Structure 1
Amino acid sequence: MKKNIAILRGGNSSEIAISIKSADLVYKNIDTEFYVPFIVHIEGLDWFVWHNESKIELDKNDFSFQLNNKKIKFEGVFMAIHGTPGEDGILQGYFDLLNIPYNCSGAFESALTFNKAMCNALLKQFNIPSAKAVLLNKNETYDLLKIEKEIGFPCFVKPNRAGSSFGISKVYKNTEFKQALSKAFIHDSQVMVESFVEGTEVSCGIIQKAETLVAFPLTEITTENDFFDYEAKYNGKSDEITPARVSDLDKDLVQTLSKKIYKLLNLKGMVRMDFILENQQAYLIEVNTIPGLSEESIIPQQSKSYGMSLKELFSLTLMNMFKND
């Protein structure tokens, strides 16, 4: 019997447009021989199923809805909400209470990885290098001279708990810092100030396949902009080259570190990890437990390079979900 799958989109962050694109790609490529997909939109308190160009309200008590006078319940959830409440563990906790399996990492692991500063600080204890960073909270005072001495310029100023490069600025001098901080605080009440590491940016996708942890071919990211910002990611201002033009030594280093992080943090589902390569050292940028799945996104490119169709990729993540349940 086919299983009803809720493909979640929306969210309460700036990433909602990317989420809608991701959910659409999943819906188009899910294997309908085994699954009945439904698009479920969650935005604030507005939860509904988008079915035949119309909204059907969801019952939040048991995550069900009525269709043709019949109650429809879901056997599983495919999470495509980037940002809160899909990437930070909130919805995972809700589904844990309802005992509905989902295709991504658990509530605690999602909350941890969504907090870039805390995640990177923890991983440094396990010899996973990342750039020097300080965390600033909204409405608290800060010592710019101390930050300049500790982090230096240029540096990146970015929301601690946000994605898709929203609110990020590359700051070259202290007179630019205040404006960059204000821009980042629009997206989060915590801002990460991170030292600039010059090198090659690469991304590595990870997924479990049977008993093997598979690392996809790396993607090398180049951009005509100053860095890989939102415009570069989604408006054609970058080149994403898969497989990356890096040495076998660097490729093995990034893939090995990515697998190590996946295991250390007890992650599940499709995960993407971003690094900067410099002098045969890989510096972690961030861990993405709900990576983008739009046509422009990196994971679909890597899956294709690996030789796995999108239908196979999504079938694998759903199979893993039910296996782990």
Structure 2
Amino acid sequence: MARALVAYGGRSLEREVSTRSGQQAAKALRTLGHAVDVVDVGADFVDVVQRAQPDFVFIALHGVGGEDGTVQDLLEILQVPYTGSDALASAICLDKHTFKSLCELRGVATPQWHSFTKQAFADYGAGKTLDALWQQFDGRMVVKPARQGSSFGLSVVQERAQLGGAVLGAMSYDDRVLLERFVPGRELAVTVLGPADAPEPLPPVEIVMADEYYSFQAHYEIGSSEVRLAGLSDAVDARVRAVAADAYRAAGCRDFARVDIRLEDETPWVLEINTIPGLTETGPTPLAAEHAGLSFPQLIERISARVVGG
């Protein structure tokens, strides 16, 4: 068996959830027979990796610093294998502007969108475009930071008077803001395993919540949302899995990721990819694995297979 170092925590807004994901992963890796150390990622991360000399690092970090290629770049310099997507795919997927541009280039269906930077808003009069954007999106849109996870800074805007405040709120999290057509319908999540050239989508799950959008609370707190098997018709299920696989392939993901989708009638629209989805007990990824016949340790084994075998 291998020596594994589980990296979790960090300094992102998703630190608490990352810690829970890492603890779950470490427990499963021990169940699989690996020798496991853990590290709460901080300024001593490189020192810890060099002292531990792991065969691989299991990355359970979420959000900025963990899913954006930062840690992945360091591990590539240190020549230590790690789970999950490489630095480039990680950076692409965390940046919604870049990811949605790639979707359009590769023909992956994603809702109509625009974005601008804080500098454009402050120095070049981007605020004067909000009326035109409101008309383009038929009076309903989603405003969110370009580089955040778990719906931090996200607003569903239903009145023109709310738009300016939503933009400023998103800018408090990032210097680029994404404005996207609101897609009515069902909130789906498709976990995908394997390499980019042979993606394996697991059964789609649905997130049902009182709130209209998948908030941070709904992501991770027991009782704040219901996560269940989507129960789609065979034709729609195949369509949803196919578009999730297309997005995973286009971004160059590997090992695992979660593709978030809105299903409008029977049309799936890709919203984003989480390259290190939550591994908490209430999350969509463990549930999808369960419906695919995988226990949690078996899921962790699949995620780690490339680096353990390599």
Whether these two folds match at TM > 0.5 is: yes
* In 2, Cα distance between equivalents of 1:46 and 1:185: 30
Q: How many residues matched?
A: 302
Give the letter for the 2:67 counterpart: E
Secondary structure of residue in 2 paired with 1:241: strand
Q: Distance in 2 between matches of 1:212 and 1:89?
A: 22
User: Matched residues in 2 for 1:220 and 1:180: separation?
Assistant: 26
Gaps of 5+ in 2: none
| Counterpart Cα distance in 2 of 1:5 and 1:178 | 47
Tell me by how many angstroms 1:227 deviates: 1.8
Q: Say whether residues 1:285 and 2:271 are aligned partners.
A: yes
Match of 2:105 among 116, 125, 128: 125
What is the Cα deviation at residue 32 of structure 1? 4.5
Identity %: 26
8 A Cα contact 2:9 2:18, kept in partner: yes
Alignment deviations for residues 145-203 of structure 1 (CA, whole Å, 9 cap, x no partner): 12212234221111111111111111111211222122212221111111111111111
1:22 to partner: Cα distance: 0.5
* Aligned residue runs from structure 1 range 223-302, under 5 A: 223-235=209-221, 236-242=223-229, 244-302=230-288
Higher strand fraction: Structure 1 or Structure 2? 1
Match of 1:105 in 2: 85
How do residues 88-167 of structure 1 correspond to structure 2 at under 5 angstroms?
Answer: 88-141=68-121, 142=126, 143-167=129-153
Q: Higher helix share goes to which structure?
A: 2
Map of 1:303 onto structure 2? 289
- Are the equivalent residues in 1 in contact too, given 2:4–2:56 (CA < 8 A)? yes
Q: What is the TM-score when the length of structure 1 is the normalising length? A: 0.87
> Whole-Å Cα distance in 2 between the matches of residues 152 and 229 of structure 1?
23
Residue matched to 2:47? 59
What do residues 117-168 of structure 1 show as CA deviations (whole Å, max 9, x unaligned)? Answer: 2111211222211111111211422121122122342211111111111111
Task: Name the CA distance, whole Å, in 1 between partners of 2:141 and 2:32.
Answer: 50
* Contact preservation (8 Å) 1:7, 1:77: yes
Q: Which moved more, 1:126-135 or 1:231-240?
A: 231-240
Distance between the aligned counterparts of 2:85 and 2:7, measured in 1? 15
Shift of 1:46: 4.9
The aligned counterpart of 1:216 is: 202
Q: Distance in 2 between matches of 1:46 and 1:297?
A: 30
Are 1:5 and 1:76, in contact at CA under 8 Å, matched by a contact in 2?
Answer: yes
SS in 2 for 1:227: coil
Q: Tell me the equivalent position of 1:55.
A: none
Moved more, 95-104 or 139-148: 139-148
Report the TM-score when normalising by structure 2. Answer: 0.91
- Corresponding residue number in structure 1 for 2:2: 3
Any gaps of 5 or more consecutive residues in structure 1?
Answer: 48-57, 66-71
Letter in 2 for 1:110: S
Matched, 1:194 2:180: yes
User: Which residue is 1:68 aligned to?
Assistant: none
Aligned counterparts of 2:116 and 2:248: Cα–Cα separation in 1: 27
Distance 2:299 2:105 in 1: 33
- Determine the C-alpha separation between the residues in 1 that align with 2:144 and 2:256: 24
CA distance in 1, matches of 2:192, 2:242: 11
Q: Distance in 1 between matches of 2:144 and 2:184?
A: 17
2:64 corresponds to which of 74, 77, 84: 84
